Amino acid sequence: MDGANDRSLPLRSPKRRRVNGNLSPFRYSSPDELAGSSDHETPLTYHRRRTSSSNLRRTPTDHRRRSYERSDQDSPDELDHTTYPTFWHDKYRREDLRPPTVASRHVTPEAPSEISMLTPVQSPDYPPLSPATPLPPPPKQARYFPYKEKMVLKGHKKGVAAVRFSPTGDMIASCCEFSYQIWSTSTGKCIHTLADGHLAGISTLAWSPDGRTLASGSDDKSIRLWDTVTGKAYPLQLVGHHNYIYSIAFSPKGNMLVSGSYDEAVFLWDVRTARVMRSLPAHSDPVAGVDFTRDGTLIVSCAGDGLIRIWDTATGQCLQTLVHEDRAPVTSVRFSPNMKFVLAWTLDSCVRLWNYVEGRCVKTYQGHKNEKFSLGGAFGVYGDEAGEVGLGEKKAFTVSGSETGELLWWDVQSKVVLQRESGHEGCVLGVDTWDQGGLLVSCGLDRTVRVWERVSEADTEELAKMEDEVTIEEAVNGIVKEEDVALKMEDSDVADGLQHVDIK
């Protein structure tokens, strides 16, 4: 009997909801909803399902997509559309935010009034916007002012191997084969001539941070310390290397000194006791350059084996080894002022900027010649005039000498050659900068030390006017000369014509 009743009853299809008069898409029907549409559904369950469906219709498509992207695993429960009402509830839980209503979507937009066109449009569902604060003016773009030769310092009897500004910039120290000389930056006069301290040629020098001590490294395997006030040498010598000393540098505090030698070792010295604190078997070729970071925690060394090594000052451990694929001999190294990069000079006519943390070369500067001599250079800053630092944008440059007697300035970021100047007669071995005074000093095989001064903006404008006047004068003179030539040609033609005319 029950079976007959079951066969007599027609099968009922699942209920299909309508949205705006159309059948709802299939993706809005879940197994739970189809099960809930049976005859045994209670009114309360039907009301809850209709409320959930209404919320689903109000959910924008972009928020459904956002909920998919936030899920960690694409399981059916996480991708089910029943999570959308919860998403709206969490997103608009704060009092100052409200979900968009259905009525707001069908409101016909009105024509904006004159006031609404002059003020920002504000929505009643959101808090008013704060008044816009005026933007600060953009910084003044960095402008490069070239350097011009200020003075030439003569007095050395041999080629000048190294030159350095004092920390305050008021003195310049230079060394040749057997002597040191200290010059006044402002007048160019020789203050002291330091001699009778070494038994062989002098290759390198370094200023202490306070500017009262000058260190010199020599081919006699020793390092001497000099009092820059009296011009006399201290009694203690730093002795320990087994070959020529080629490069030295003071620590920022002045209590330590690092040296590189032809014996392929790097020594770390205690300046007060004149004893070796650490001996680092650094390279397999003579060590050509060493330098400290500005905080004194790291040391960099380079050598003819093509390697650049970064050392921990406290432990003496090698932290990083930098090597280029060409493996050209490295003759000099400098830490950048921000302590993030190392600038290296190599005998393949390149200056390379290394990110020593990542161990890669980030910039290569070319344009000079460096195939035989050990050249050096320095960093500098341009964009602000001397004494007006902070008024505009600042950029960094690097400068180097060349075996052709030129000096080249490159922009660190763009690698563009900012300036190329000729002054020395022969190879330029050393270059140093003093940004606070806008000065640069260079030395070379021509036995001279040359001081370069950054041109001011007023001088640059005057030079530009002079160049324009010269150009106009040359153009005028050219036109006059052309007119004179044309007149002479016409006169000659007339004279030739008169020779063939019979005058009666």
Q: What average pLDDT does this structure show over 307-327?
A: 94
Q: How far apart are CA 281 and CA 272, in angstroms?
A: 23
pLDDT at 1: 43
**pTM, rounded to two decimals:** 0.65
As a whole number of angstroms, the longest Cα–Cα distance in the chain is: 157
C-alpha distances out from residue 1 to 8, 9, 208, 249, 500, Å: 11, 13, 113, 109, 148
Between vectors from CA 83 to CA 77 and to CA 85, what angle results, nearest 5°?
165
Q: What average pLDDT does this structure show over 297-307?
A: 95
Q: What average pLDDT does this structure show over 104-125?
A: 46
Q: Which tens digits make up the pLDDT trace of 273-284? A: 999 999 998 899
pLDDT at 391: 52
Q: How confident is the model at residue 466 (pLDDT cuts 50, 70, 90)?
A: low
pLDDT at 456: 78
Q: What is the overall mean pLDDT for the chain?
A: 75
pLDDT at 383: 82
The amino acid sitting at 22 is: N
Asked if 376 and 430 count as a contact pair (C-beta separation under 8 A), the reply is yes
pLDDT at 54: 46
187 SS3 class: coil
- 43-58 and 84-91 helices, crossing angle to 10°: 60
In the numeric block, which tokens belong to residue 432? Answer: 């140093």
Q: Does residue 95 surpass a pLDDT of 50?
A: no
pLDDT at 70: 42
CA nearest neighbour of 379 among 329, 344, 420: 344
Q: How far apart are CA 72 and CA 88, in angstroms?
A: 19
Q: Which tens digits make up the pLDDT trace of 6-45? A: 444 444 444 444 444 444 444 444 444 444 444 444 444 4
Asked if 272 and 287 count as a contact pair (C-beta separation under 8 A), the reply is no
Q: How confident is the model at residue 385 (pLDDT cuts 50, 70, 90)?
A: low
How far is CA 504 from its chain centroid? 88
